[in-house]
């Protein structure tokens, strides 16, 4: 991805990216779009309580919105890397506008049923799944590199601004005018986003000769995640936290209606309080981070969330419930930002979109499964008891998971470009394969154990960057001659490996070469498979 934005001297202001017109317009567009989405969600969550008193039905709306993200996040991440992101976003925004328009027509005509509401909520979730990776991916195109972190921070701030405005506005419109008007406001928000995207004249990004196909890019993303222990720890921590914390989100409409005796307007205010708490949490996070590390931040978020869930089940006065929801919003953004930031820190640029899509899949899978499960539990034992059980489970899991430390994410994952071009007698077709690459070392017997320990650790990098098989052999006649080998699917995939190897990997390779006793550099060979014959 290349940015057409000219670089400028770094400024200390956190709002510096807003001085760039394209970023400012699209940032405002995302806020309007998210405000509309939150308004639609409030209307749907409240309408389902009018259509059915079943906790399972209420939780099903939450699940219908998150299930598509669980199912489609990874394909959407691949599409965001392969398609023109501007046109892709315009098409999906138009699709979402049609979904909300359908909800408005059905609700105004009195034809909206549980089945239709769940189905259209699912389609809205499909649109959300498709746009999320693309929105994240366009940010480096809008600002220079030195402003990228501030731009990402402003995007998070924008989402929380929408979260604080949208639910409250949606609840007020719903209570004052009705569901059809609320859905109509959502349609208008999508038209604003489409206009902003049409205004943006995105330069065409040509495909190079090593551009991946959908299937290849899909497999590369899954392969990287499968071979990365650091990513595994982040995914485990995220799944456990969100599966248990999802109970309060799934049951919040019933908490508002049954425990707090509130109406649609008050439910919107409750969600607005959570959004305001998220903004407060984002402001306080730098101070908290100076006292605790990432693991401490997630533990604190879990304890605060569990405390709020326990107090809500006691049916407190409404004036007390709002401060509790402020705390819930702050705790939620602390966990979300910490886990998402850690995931980004351990991913290189070439696979970040696809691997983050896996993270989104786990996150939304936890929310979906948790919502359905807690809805069914609440139907059997009641909402207050369910919140107590979930809170106890969240505290216990947080204390246990605190031992599975999050990765620091301090390695330099920028491309090193230190591998020389492969020596070939003639041009090799990109689709030819598989390819075996061998690296020959001479290692003294005294250093053999230390060398192999480091080499086995380095094998994970080979697999992450494209190898589907890896091994190490010794020469029976010369035991000090050790040969590392790995196989990739095609010649093009190996050329991509040359671009993917990171500076941190280059440091490990430098350590391996210190064990090499020969004056000549380790010999590298590229062996191409020949067609099999009968």
The span from the CA of 218 to the CA of 451, in Å, is 33
User: Does 114 map to a domain?
Assistant: yes
- Neighbour tally for 245: CB within 10 Å: 28
pLDDT at 161: 79
Interhelix angle 214-226/55-82, nearest 10 degrees: 110
- The token pair that represents 55 in the structure block: 């906790």
Q: Which residues contact 317 (CB under 8 A, 6 or more apart)?
A: none
Q: What is the pLDDT of residue 205?
A: 60
What is the edge-to-edge ordering of all strands in the sheet holding 481-488? 469-474, 481-488, 435-442, 523-528
Indicate whether 441 and 389 sit together in one domain: no
> According to the model, what pLDDT value does residue 306 have?
95
For residues 329-348, average pLDDT: 82
If asked whether residues 156 and 292 sit together in one domain, one would say: yes
- At residue 495, φ and ψ (nearest 5 deg) are -65, -35
- Considering 263-272, 283-292, 399-408, the range whose residues carry the highest mean pLDDT is 399-408
Q: 415-433: per-residue pLDDT in tens?
A: 777 788 888 888 888 888 8
On the question of pLDDT at 1 being above 50, the answer is no
The answer as to whether 7 is a domain residue is no
CATH number, residue 458: 3.30.70.100
* Distance between CA atoms of residues 305 and 315, nearest Å: 16
In the predicted structure, residue 5 carries a pLDDT above the cut 70? no
Give tens-digit pLDDT for 361-372: 888 788 888 888
The torsion angles phi and psi of 526, rounded to 5 degrees, stand at: -120, 115
Q: Residue 61 pLDDT more than 80? A: no
In this prediction the pTM is: 0.75
The 8-class DSSP code of residue 109 comes to T
pLDDT score of 90: 92
* Co-location of 247 and 386 in the same domain: yes
Shared domain check, 439 and 390? no
* Boundaries of domain holding 489: 435-528
Would you say residue 395 has pLDDT above 70?
A: yes
Confidence category of residue 238, pLDDT binned at 50, 70, 90: very high
The domain boundary residue, chosen from 350, 378, 401: 401
Instruction: Based on the fold, state whether residues 145 and 276 are members of the same structural domain.
Output: yes
Cβ neighbour number for residue 117 with a 10 Å cutoff? 25
Q: Which two tokens stand for residue 3?
A: 């940015």
For residue 525, the model assigns a pLDDT of 92
Residues 139-170: tens digit of each pLDDT? 767 877 667 656 766 777 787 778 778 877 88
Does 3 have pLDDT greater than 60? no
pLDDT of residue 190: 92
Binned at pLDDT 50, 70 and 90, residue 305 comes out as very high
Mean pLDDT across 300-305: 94
Q: Is the pLDDT of residue 311 over 50?
A: yes
When pLDDT is averaged across residues 288-316 and rounded to a whole number, the result is 90
- Do 371 and 483 fall into the same domain? no
As a whole number, the mean pLDDT across the chain is 84
DSSP string covering 404-466, please? Answer: SPPP---S--SB---SPPPP-SSPPPTT---EEEEEEEEB-GGGHHHHHHHHHHHHHHHHHHT
**Closest to 247 measured CA to CA, from 436, 357, 378:** 378
Instruction: Please tell me which residue, 409 or 478, carries the higher pLDDT value.
Output: 478
Do residues 247 and 157 lie in contact, with contact meaning Cβ atoms separated by under 8 Å? no
Does some domain include residue 534?
Answer: no
Distance CA 18, CA 24 (A): 5
pLDDT at 243: 93
C-alpha span between 237 and 397 (Å, rounded): 9
d(CA 318, CA 528): 71
- Tell whether 460 and 390 lie within a shared domain: no
The reply to whether 186 and 331 lie within a common domain is yes
Least confident of 28-42, 295-309, 401-415: 401-415
Per the listing, tokens 């930002």 go with 337
Using pLDDT thresholds of 50, 70 and 90, give the confidence band for residue 129. confident
- Residue range 340-355: average pLDDT? 77
Lowest model confidence (mean pLDDT) among 151-155, 345-349, 521-525 = 151-155
Please give the pLDDT value at position 70: 73
Distance separating the N- and C-terminal Cα atoms of the chain:
46
| Residue 241: per-residue pLDDT | 94
Measure the CA–CA gap between 342 and 530, rounded to whole angstroms: 43
* Residue scoring higher pLDDT (158 or 530): 530
**Which pLDDT does position 4 carry in this prediction?**
47
417: left (phi over 0), alpha (psi -120 to 50) or beta: left
**Total structural domains within the chain:** 2
> Cα separations (Å) of 359 from 69, 252, 278, 352?
11, 25, 21, 10
């Amino acid at each position: 991805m290349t940015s057409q934005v000219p670089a400028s001297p770094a400024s200390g202001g956190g709002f510096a990216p807003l001085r760039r017109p394209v970023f400012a317009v699209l940032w405002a567009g995302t806020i309007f779009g998210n405000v509309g989405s939150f308004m639609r969600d409030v209307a749907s969550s409240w309408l389902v309580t009018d259509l059915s008193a079943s906790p399972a039905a209420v939780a099903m709306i939450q699940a219908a919105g998150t299930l598509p993200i669980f199912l489609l996040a990874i394909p959407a991440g691949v599409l965001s890397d392969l398609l023109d992101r501007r046109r892709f976003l315009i098409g999906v925004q138009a699709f979402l506008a049609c979904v909300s328009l359908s909800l408005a027509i059905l609700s105004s005509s009195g034809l909206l049923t549980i089945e239709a509401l769940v189905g259209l909520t699912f389609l809205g979730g499909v649109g959300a799944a498709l746009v999320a990776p693309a929105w994240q991916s366009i940010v480096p195109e809008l600002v220079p590199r030195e402003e990228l972190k501030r731009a990402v921070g402003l995007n998070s701030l924008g989402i929380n601004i929408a979260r604080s405005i949208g639910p409250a506005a949606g609840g007020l419109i719903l209570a004052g005018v009705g569901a059809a008007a609320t859905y109509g406001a959502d349609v208008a928000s999508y038209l604003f986003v489409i206009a902003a995207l049409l205004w943006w004249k995105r330069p065409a990004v040509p495909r190079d000769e090593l551009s991946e196909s959908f299937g290849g890019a899909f497999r590369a993303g899954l392969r990287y995640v499968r071979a990365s222990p650091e990513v595994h720890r982040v995914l485990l921590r995220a799944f456990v936290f969100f599966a248990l914390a999802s109970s309060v989100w799934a049951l919040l409409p019933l908490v508002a209606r049954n425990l707090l005796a509130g109406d649609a307007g008050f439910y919107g205010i409750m969600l607005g309080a959570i959004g305001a708490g998220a903004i407060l949490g984002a402001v306080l996070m730098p101070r908290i981070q100076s006292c605790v590390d990432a693991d401490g931040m997630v533990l604190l978020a879990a304890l605060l969330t569990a405390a709020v869930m326990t107090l809500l089940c006691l049916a407190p006065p409404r004036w007390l419930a709002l401060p509790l929801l402020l705390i819930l919003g702050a705790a939620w953004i602390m966990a979300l930002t910490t886990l998402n930031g850690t995931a980004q820190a351990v991913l290189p640029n070439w696979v970040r979109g696809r691997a983050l899509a896996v993270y989104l899949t786990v996150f939304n899978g936890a929310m979906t499964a948790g919502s359905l499960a807690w809805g069914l539990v609440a139907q059997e034992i009641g909402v207050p008891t369910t919140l107590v059980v979930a809170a106890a489970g969240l505290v216990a899991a947080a204390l246990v998971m605190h031992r599975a430390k999050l990765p620091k994410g301090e390695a330099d994952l920028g491309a090193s470009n230190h591998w020389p071009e492969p020596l070939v007698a003639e041009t090799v077709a990109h689709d030819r394969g598989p390819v075996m690459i061998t690296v020959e070392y001479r290692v003294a017997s005294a250093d053999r154990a230390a060398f192999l320990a480091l080499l086995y650790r380095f094998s994970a990098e080979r697999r992450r960057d494209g190898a589907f098989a890896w091994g190490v052999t010794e020469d029976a006649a010369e035991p000090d001659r050790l040969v590392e080998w790995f196989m990739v699917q095609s010649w093009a995939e190996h050329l991509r490996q040359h671009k993917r190897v990171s500076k941190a990997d280059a440091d490990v390779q430098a350590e391996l070469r210190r064990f090499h006793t020969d004056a000549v550099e380790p010999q590298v060979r590229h062996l191409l498979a020949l067609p099999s014959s009968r």
